[in-house]
Amino acid sequence: MNQRVYQESEQLITQLLDLLAEFASIQKDHAACLAENRLKNLMSWRQQREQTFRRLRQVLDQVAGLAGCDEAVRQRLLNDLGKILENEKKLAGLAGAQRDRLQGSLCVMRKGKQALKGYSVYQGGSPMPKYLSNKS
Protein backbone atom coordinates (compact mmCIF):
# COMPACT_ATOMS: atom_id res chain seq x y z
CA MET A 1 0.00 0.00 0.00
CA ASN A 2 2.76 2.41 0.97
CA GLN A 3 4.60 1.58 -2.27
CA ARG A 4 1.49 2.40 -4.31
CA VAL A 5 1.11 5.80 -2.60
CA TYR A 6 4.77 6.51 -3.29
CA GLN A 7 4.36 5.61 -6.98
CA GLU A 8 1.26 7.79 -7.31
CA SER A 9 3.03 10.74 -5.72
CA GLU A 10 6.03 10.23 -8.03
CA GLN A 11 3.69 10.16 -11.04
CA LEU A 12 1.98 13.37 -9.88
CA ILE A 13 5.30 15.11 -9.39
CA THR A 14 6.52 13.96 -12.81
CA GLN A 15 3.26 15.14 -14.37
CA LEU A 16 3.62 18.50 -12.62
CA LEU A 17 7.19 18.94 -13.82
CA ASP A 18 6.12 18.09 -17.38
CA LEU A 19 3.26 20.61 -17.22
CA LEU A 20 5.59 23.29 -15.85
CA ALA A 21 7.97 22.65 -18.75
CA GLU A 22 5.06 22.79 -21.22
CA PHE A 23 3.80 26.08 -19.78
CA ALA A 24 7.33 27.54 -19.88
CA SER A 25 7.59 26.50 -23.53
CA ILE A 26 4.27 28.21 -24.29
CA GLN A 27 5.50 31.36 -22.54
CA LYS A 28 8.72 31.32 -24.57
CA ASP A 29 6.79 30.91 -27.84
CA HIS A 30 4.36 33.71 -26.99
CA ALA A 31 7.19 36.03 -25.94
CA ALA A 32 8.94 35.41 -29.27
CA CYS A 33 5.73 36.15 -31.16
CA LEU A 34 5.16 39.37 -29.22
CA ALA A 35 8.75 40.48 -29.75
CA GLU A 36 8.51 39.79 -33.50
CA ASN A 37 5.08 41.45 -33.82
CA ARG A 38 3.31 38.22 -34.89
CA LEU A 39 -0.09 38.82 -33.33
CA LYS A 40 -2.48 36.96 -35.63
CA ASN A 41 -3.16 34.03 -33.29
CA LEU A 42 -4.05 35.84 -30.08
CA MET A 43 -7.26 33.91 -29.46
CA SER A 44 -5.61 30.53 -29.95
CA TRP A 45 -2.82 31.65 -27.58
CA ARG A 46 -5.39 32.45 -24.94
CA GLN A 47 -7.10 29.07 -25.29
CA GLN A 48 -3.78 27.24 -25.22
CA ARG A 49 -2.65 29.10 -22.10
CA GLU A 50 -5.98 28.59 -20.33
CA GLN A 51 -6.05 24.85 -21.02
CA THR A 52 -2.47 24.32 -19.90
CA PHE A 53 -2.94 26.50 -16.83
CA ARG A 54 -6.13 24.64 -15.89
CA ARG A 55 -4.32 21.28 -16.07
CA LEU A 56 -1.38 22.75 -14.16
CA ARG A 57 -3.66 24.01 -11.41
CA GLN A 58 -5.41 20.65 -11.06
CA VAL A 59 -2.09 18.83 -10.67
CA LEU A 60 -0.80 21.49 -8.27
CA ASP A 61 -3.88 20.98 -6.11
CA GLN A 62 -3.25 17.24 -6.07
CA VAL A 63 0.46 17.67 -5.29
CA ALA A 64 -0.40 20.08 -2.47
CA GLY A 65 -2.36 17.26 -0.85
CA LEU A 66 0.63 14.92 -0.75
CA ALA A 67 1.82 14.07 2.73
CA GLY A 68 5.53 14.25 2.15
CA CYS A 69 7.80 15.40 -0.61
CA ASP A 70 11.55 15.16 -1.07
CA GLU A 71 13.34 18.47 -0.35
CA ALA A 72 15.21 18.40 -3.67
CA VAL A 73 11.95 17.92 -5.58
CA ARG A 74 10.28 20.68 -3.56
CA GLN A 75 13.16 23.06 -4.34
CA ARG A 76 13.00 22.20 -8.04
CA LEU A 77 9.25 22.85 -8.09
CA LEU A 78 9.73 26.20 -6.36
CA ASN A 79 12.46 27.19 -8.83
CA ASP A 80 10.32 26.20 -11.82
CA LEU A 81 7.31 28.09 -10.46
CA GLY A 82 9.53 31.12 -9.82
CA LYS A 83 10.75 31.04 -13.43
CA ILE A 84 7.17 30.84 -14.69
CA LEU A 85 6.15 33.85 -12.61
CA GLU A 86 9.19 35.77 -13.86
CA ASN A 87 8.32 34.88 -17.46
CA GLU A 88 4.73 36.05 -16.88
CA LYS A 89 6.05 39.45 -15.80
CA LYS A 90 8.19 39.64 -18.95
CA LEU A 91 5.19 38.67 -21.10
CA ALA A 92 3.10 41.37 -19.43
CA GLY A 93 5.81 43.91 -20.27
CA LEU A 94 5.96 42.78 -23.91
CA ALA A 95 2.16 42.86 -24.18
CA GLY A 96 2.13 46.37 -22.70
CA ALA A 97 4.72 47.51 -25.24
CA GLN A 98 2.61 46.08 -28.09
CA ARG A 99 -0.51 47.76 -26.70
CA ASP A 100 1.31 51.11 -26.56
CA ARG A 101 2.58 50.66 -30.12
CA LEU A 102 -0.92 49.84 -31.38
CA GLN A 103 -2.43 52.80 -29.53
CA GLY A 104 0.16 55.06 -31.14
CA SER A 105 -0.74 53.69 -34.58
CA LEU A 106 -4.42 54.21 -33.85
CA CYS A 107 -3.75 57.82 -32.84
CA VAL A 108 -1.87 58.43 -36.12
CA MET A 109 -4.73 56.92 -38.11
CA ARG A 110 -7.25 59.14 -36.33
CA LYS A 111 -5.17 62.23 -37.10
CA GLY A 112 -5.03 61.16 -40.74
CA LYS A 113 -8.77 60.72 -40.83
CA GLN A 114 -9.27 64.22 -39.41
CA ALA A 115 -6.85 65.64 -41.98
CA LEU A 116 -8.74 63.96 -44.82
CA LYS A 117 -11.99 65.50 -43.63
CA GLY A 118 -10.49 68.94 -44.32
CA TYR A 119 -10.15 68.09 -48.01
CA SER A 120 -13.76 66.97 -48.41
CA VAL A 121 -16.08 68.98 -50.65
CA TYR A 122 -19.05 68.15 -48.44
CA GLN A 123 -19.74 69.68 -45.05
CA GLY A 124 -19.99 66.43 -43.08
CA GLY A 125 -16.55 65.22 -44.09
CA SER A 126 -17.87 62.33 -46.13
CA PRO A 127 -19.66 62.19 -49.45
CA MET A 128 -23.39 62.79 -49.35
CA PRO A 129 -25.50 59.71 -50.02
CA LYS A 130 -26.99 59.59 -53.48
CA TYR A 131 -30.65 58.74 -53.80
CA LEU A 132 -32.19 57.51 -56.99
CA SER A 133 -35.68 58.70 -57.76
CA ASN A 134 -38.17 56.62 -59.67
CA LYS A 135 -39.18 59.85 -61.48
CA SER A 136 -35.94 60.17 -63.37
100: confidence class by pLDDT, cuts 50, 70, 90: confident
Residue 134: φ, ψ to 5°: -80, -5
The residues, ordered by sequence, that sit 6+ positions from 53 with a Cβ below 8 Å of its Cβ are 23
CA distance 104 to 121: 29
102-129, pLDDT tens digit by residue? 888 887 777 777 766 666 555 555 555 5
pTM: 0.64
CB-CB contact of 26 with 48 (8 Å): yes
Cα radius of gyration rounded to whole Å, the chain: 27
| Residue that wins the pLDDT comparison between 46 and 83 | 83
